[in-house]
Amino acid sequence: MAGSSFGTIFTVTSWGESHGKAIGVVIDGCPAGLALSEEILQPYLDRRKPGTSAFTTKRKESDTVEILSGVFEGKTTGTPISLLVRNEDQRSKDYSEIASYYRPGHADYTYDQKYGFRDYRGGGRSSARETIARVAAGAVACEALKELGVSVQAYVKQIGPVVVPEGADDWAFAKSSPLCMPDQKSAEDAEAYLHQVIAEEDSVGGVVECVITGVKPGVGAPTFAKLDAELAKAVMSINAVKAVEIGDGVRVAEAKGSENNDAFVAEGKTRKATNHAGGILGGISDGDPIVVRATFKPTPSIAKEQQTINRDGEEISVQVKGRHDPIVVTRAVVVVEAMAAITLVDQMLMGMGAKLENVKKIWGAPEA
């Protein structure tokens, strides 16, 4: 399957460029009978919308989603759901300069190498606006997961040197504050740090953590289609992600088996005494919260002067102008949730027939 689709049964196909007419997504394979409307979808998109704080681009977009197919009388029909968001603020500025050289940290050079040329307006297809498609599809996935008792929630874990302490859980604060951190002190520190970064005409990286609760044990697969492998692909496919971790992630390099192994316990709220594993064992969900972490690089577009080459291969010095975010993590929170939710729904649909007895529940002959 070509690279703009994700998922096997619940399949998401993303299209659109930053400065084209629209961004859109087609979701095929969504189970029939799920309540869906533009009112249900819009709040998800509003969470990634630009222009909502001092730390995001000033581009003005209402990002209003339109449902073009697949929903009838307020419910999904099981056929493809086509969602469309028109681009509104495609400033008619002169792009000839950006067309002529390769921005450091961007995909300009590699697109030219792969395709021979590129739509250079605002990054074209490699723009962060592509994540609209992911968030819109993720909204549908999240709504489906709610029906199954599953909740998907991400937050900003780190911005530059500021790390949210373990156990911080002020979720109400995280939702209301622009930096999406569940800890007021961390948010204040990060905010101060960001003002300094902005003053330097620079940008900085960060970490988003996503926690998925309510997943029954048994979702995922051994071998190549491990649930963590699918999540790793999903999350690494988000622009600017450079690392994906499950559970304790990179910390397990120094852990001993006796520390890292989670003891199983008698049936209760959790299945294990601890959750170093992040809710996945052998590629299959174990019933405990699934924990995925993504590290994002600093926004590559910075006003500070940088060295690069032009299309003729000559070294030049550039300052990237435009409307850019000094960090990507805050707007990425809902994107990480989206990719996690899409992955999970698809894996649940893929695994419905893992046991013959489950196949009989759906397709078996009626009892005589």
Site for a copy of itself in 48-77 (CB under 8 A): 66, 68-70, 72-73, 75-77
Instruction: With contacts defined by CB under 8 A, name the span among 54-62, 167-175, 183-191, 198-206 that binds a copy of itself.
Output: 198-206
Torsion of CA 319, 57, 343, 240, to 10 degrees: 20
**Neighbour tally for 232: CB within 10 Å:** 19
Q: Output the smallest distance, CB 188 to a copy of itself, in A.
A: 18
Q: Which of 51, 178, 283, 322 binds a copy of itself (CB under 8 A)?
A: 283
User: Helix axis angle, 329-350 relative to 131-147, nearest 10°?
Assistant: 50
Closer residue to a copy of itself, CB minimum distance, 278 or 289: 278
Question: Do residues 345 and 144 touch, judged by C-beta distance below 8 A?
Answer: yes
Q: Output the smallest distance, CB 344 to a copy of itself, in A.
A: 10
Question: Do residues 87 and 65 touch, judged by C-beta distance below 8 A?
Answer: no
Which contiguous run of DSSP H or E holds residue 330? helix 329-350
3-state secondary structure of 265: coil
In sequence order, what are the beta bridge partners of 206?
Answer: 159, 296
Spell out, one character per residue from 308 to 337, where the chain touches a copy of itself: x when CB under 8 A holds, - when not. xx---xxx----------------------
Question: Do residues 327 and 55 touch, judged by C-beta distance below 8 A?
Answer: yes
Instruction: With contacts defined by CB under 8 A, name the span among 45-53, 57-65, 173-181, 224-232 that binds a copy of itself.
Output: 224-232
172 binds a copy of itself (CB under 8 A): no
**Footprint on residues 175-194 left by a copy of itself (CB under 8 A):** none
Question: Do residues 218 and 347 touch, judged by C-beta distance below 8 A?
Answer: no
Q: Which of 166, 199, 223, 269 binds a copy of itself (CB under 8 A)?
A: 223
In sequence order, what are the beta bridge partners of 98?
Answer: none
Instruction: With contacts defined by CB under 8 A, name the span among 46-54, 169-177, 179-187, 270-278 that binds a copy of itself.
Output: 270-278
Residue 346 neighbours by CB under 8 Å, 6+ apart: 6, 7, 8, 9, 10, 11, 29, 230
3-state secondary structure of 186: helix
Cβ burial, residue 16 (10 Å; 0-12/13-18/19+): buried
Closer residue to a copy of itself, CB minimum distance, 176 or 250: 250
165 binds a copy of itself (CB under 8 A): no
3-state secondary structure of 107: coil
Closer residue to a copy of itself, CB minimum distance, 54 or 68: 68
Closer residue to a copy of itself, CB minimum distance, 165 or 172: 165
Instruction: With contacts defined by CB under 8 A, name the span among 42-50, 54-62, 125-133, 164-172 that binds a copy of itself.
Output: 125-133
Spell out, one character per residue from 349 to 368, where the chain touches a copy of itself: x when CB under 8 A holds, - when not. xxxxxxxxxxxxxxxxx---
**Footprint on residues 22-51 left by a copy of itself (CB under 8 A):** 22-24, 26, 28-29, 31-34
Q: Which of 91, 97, 250, 319 binds a copy of itself (CB under 8 A)?
A: 250
